Structure 1
Amino acid sequence: MNIHPTYPIFPIMIFLSFVASLLPWLWIKRDNIGILFLSLWLAIACLNQFVNSVIWHGNTRNFAPVWCDISTRLMIGITVAIPGSSLCMTRRLYHIFSMRAFLLTPIQKRRALTEDLCICLGIPFLQMAIQYTVEGNRYNILEDIGCYPATYNVWPAYVLYYCWPVIIGLLIAVYSALTIRAASKQGNEIEKFLEDKTQRQHYHRLIILAVFNIFAAAPFASIIMILDLTTFPMIPYIGWEDTHLYYSRVYEFPAVVWRSDSAWNAVMEMCRWILVLCAIFFYGVFGFSGEAINAYKKAFWKVAGLVGVKMGRSSMPQEHLPQ
């Protein structure tokens, strides 16, 4: 794989992905924790890549160290935040199609909400902290890529950092398969509990997203882990002091260096463009629903009203029940 995106194609695409990731917040119900955090973390990841791709286009100067510290921490957390949010969404979908969600008491609902928040927020921040134990230097700067985490290629890195997206991806695949199985068995029963056609269509879209997760989450994380394992030689782990001996350093890599290595180039480009792919698919699933069209109409007429154009009665969007 030898992808060489040209400037400014990637910055434009990743910025549009940022916008597309946030748009569903206009109509998605606020108690849908998994989808909301999936949208939020995906948007943060896209915005982070957009800023880096613009600032470090054609250079490797270390002129924004504070930003790089924040940016690399976000990258580390996002490796588990996006799949973790998908896990929450898929788990909730399984509980709905297995009829468990309809039988929860208020206490159980609060407990489920706490569990979702721990997965969507707690695990990413925990990952940000744990990764420091295998961080060889402060961060790296790659030309055209920007700031990038500097994980020391020792065996604890695969236990503490690289393996968790794979594990979460496998859990997503299990829940997705169970959801599809439950939906095929109890589809008629579910129809009785869902209030209207809009809600039924919403959960059908979630099933599509669950199917996508089966073929995306664990396989992609596994490919990245294998490429990281094979691109650079494994370094013997001696201890904490050896790992952090040169922690204060910042290494700069011109594009000609990292792009000359096909495996390194593949890892860098895959990690960037997978965000665009996820945002496109995410928006494709949620961005053309009835609720979305209704939200677009409301936004259009609200903006039009600012310039004196009033909405006719025949153009008024119909109200839909929230998801």
Structure 2
Amino acid sequence: MRYPFLPAGAFVAAFLVLVPAFWHWRARNVPTLSLIAWLFTLDVVYGANGLVWSDDVWDRAPVWCDVSAKLIIGAWTALPACTLCICKYLAMIGGNRTVGLDRTDRRRIAIFDFALCWGVPVIFMALHYIVQDHRYNIVQYVGCQPATYVSIPGILIVWVPPLLLSIGTLAYAGIALYHFVQMRVVFSSVLQVSDSPMPTNRYIRLIGMSATLALWGIALASLAIWANVAATGLRPWVSWGDVHSGWDRVDAYVWFLMSLESRRIVGVGWWAIPVSSGIVFVFLGFGEDASKEYRRVGEAVMKVIPCRVLPERKEDLGKRMLLTSPVPSSVLRFVFLEANSLTRLTFS
């Protein structure tokens, strides 16, 4: 049984999530660009895994699996961290707390966002080694997946941080939405006096995108905790040596040997990243600013592509040739007159 739509879906999602990156790059929006970068990276990783392990579970790329498994661990924390930074900044704008910020203040905010969106995930990627009882898992059609010793430390390191960051995102989204409802009459002027003016519809779309991703992340993290505890039980933490005794092991899972429930859970976990990419595209790829960018790109393309020449009438073509041809005009005029007379004789 093959699932060719898995890599195709991941690569399509990678393209879609990359589309809004161009106009957010101009605004140097660190959290939004970081969110797009993490989703694009994971989409490419998932697509490549689906292509490589579409037929078997051979451990044919150990280094790739080590890296991709750690990237997946990092993304679980990075995505809610990015949405938290987005909503935190929106709450600051809505509360009119960005007025008067100088270049140093804006640089400090950007450094904080970068540290939370990239530094914190790297820290948890390193901490994951504490609860990594073997190198990684290989699931047919899915590819490399991180391995976690399901215990209280494992839950605290791997799944609790995304939950807390998602809850923080919802809290800041609520504050930002409160500011919008409280000052909805003059809210557009509040946005215009901020240090980075934005349209009201973009403000609302960013809140909606972040809140949707946060709710989606809470559901996925809760499902992951329940599924892992239900599958293996909450295992006791005896010692470091006991947990890492078989660290070089690679567990392989053939699709048709897995239970139906396990396949469904793996499928939901796999589609989580492409669906998240689709959510980002829906909220950021159909706004007014996106339409302007699409028109701008279309105009640039039309300038590069030569316009199609419309077919000319026979009389216009003859006149143009009479003006541009090095052949004497009397000869060309005779040729076109004869051609016209032959045409009339043929179709009369």
Confirm or deny a common fold (TM above 0.5): yes
Distance 1:176 1:213, change over 3 A: farther
Cα distance in structure 1, aligned partners of 2:257 and 2:101: 56
Q: 2:80, 2:214 within 8 Å by CA — same for their partners in 1?
A: no
* Deviation (angstroms), 1:294: 2.6
State the one-letter code of the partner of 2:17.
S
Find out whether 1:40 has 2:37 as its counterpart: yes
SS of the equivalent of 1:41 reads: helix
State the one-letter code of the partner of 2:181.
S
Q: 1:57, 1:143 within 8 Å by CA — same for their partners in 2?
A: yes
**Within-5 A mapping of 1:264-283:** 264-283=262-281
Q: 1:53, 1:144 within 8 Å by CA — same for their partners in 2?
A: yes
Q: Which runs of 4+ in 1 moved over 6 A?
A: none
Distance 1:46 1:214, change over 3 A: closer
| Higher mean displacement: 27-36 or 166-175 | 27-36
Aligned pair count reads: 304
- Look up the match of 2:75: 78
**Within-5 A mapping of 1:151-162:** 151-162=148-159
- Look up the match of 2:235: 235
* Deviation (angstroms), 1:244: 1.0
- Look up the match of 2:140: 143
Cα distance in structure 2, aligned partners of 1:211 and 1:158: 23
Cα distance in structure 2, aligned partners of 1:166 and 1:25: 26
* Deviation (angstroms), 1:304: 4.1
- Look up the match of 2:344: none
State the one-letter code of the partner of 2:178.
R
- Look up the match of 1:294: 292
Residue of 9, 12, 24 corresponding to 1:16: 12
Cα distance in structure 1, aligned partners of 2:260 and 2:284: 38
Distance 1:182 1:7, change over 3 A: same
* Bigger Rg over Cα: 2
RMSD: 2.1
Cα distance in structure 1, aligned partners of 2:99 and 2:228: 44
State the one-letter code of the partner of 1:155.
I
**Structure 1 stretches of 5 or more lacking a match?**
311-323
Cα distance in structure 2, aligned partners of 1:198 and 1:92: 12
* Deviation (angstroms), 1:116: 0.5
* Deviation (angstroms), 1:152: 1.2
Cα distance in structure 1, aligned partners of 2:106 and 2:297: 33
State the one-letter code of the partner of 2:250.
V
Find out whether 1:87 has 2:62 as its counterpart: no
Q: 1:30, 1:36 within 8 Å by CA — same for their partners in 2?
A: no
SS of the equivalent of 1:140 reads: strand
Q: 1:169, 1:221 within 8 Å by CA — same for their partners in 2?
A: no
- Look up the match of 1:7: 3
- Look up the match of 2:182: 185
Distance 1:113 1:292, change over 3 A: same
Cα distance in structure 2, aligned partners of 1:250 and 1:241: 18
SS of the equivalent of 2:21 reads: helix
**Within-5 A mapping of 1:122-271:** 122-195=119-192, 199-258=199-258, 260-262=259-261, 264-271=262-269
**Within-5 A mapping of 1:86-105:** 86-105=83-102
- Look up the match of 1:321: none
1:17-66 CA-partner distances (Å, limit 9, x unpaired): 10111111111243211111111111111111111111101210111111
1:287-322 CA-partner distances (Å, limit 9, x unpaired): 112322232233334344444239xxxxxxxxxxxx
State the one-letter code of the partner of 1:237.
W
Cα distance in structure 2, aligned partners of 1:213 and 1:49: 19
* Deviation (angstroms), 1:193: 3.3
State the one-letter code of the partner of 1:200.
T
**Structure 2 stretches of 5 or more lacking a match?**
309-348
SS of the equivalent of 2:54 reads: coil
SS of the equivalent of 1:277 reads: helix
Q: 1:163, 1:225 within 8 Å by CA — same for their partners in 2?
A: no
Distance 1:141 1:231, change over 3 A: same
User: Normalised by the size of structure 2, how large is the TM-score?
Assistant: 0.82
- Look up the match of 1:121: 118
Cα distance in structure 2, aligned partners of 1:170 and 1:198: 25
| Higher mean displacement: 196-205 or 118-127 | 196-205
| Higher mean displacement: 285-294 or 141-150 | 285-294
State the one-letter code of the partner of 1:268.
V
1:57-96 CA-partner distances (Å, limit 9, x unpaired): 1210111111111110110100011111111111111111
- Look up the match of 1:64: 61
SS of the equivalent of 1:309 reads: coil
Cα distance in structure 2, aligned partners of 1:157 and 1:181: 36
User: Normalised by the size of structure 1, how large is the TM-score?
Assistant: 0.88
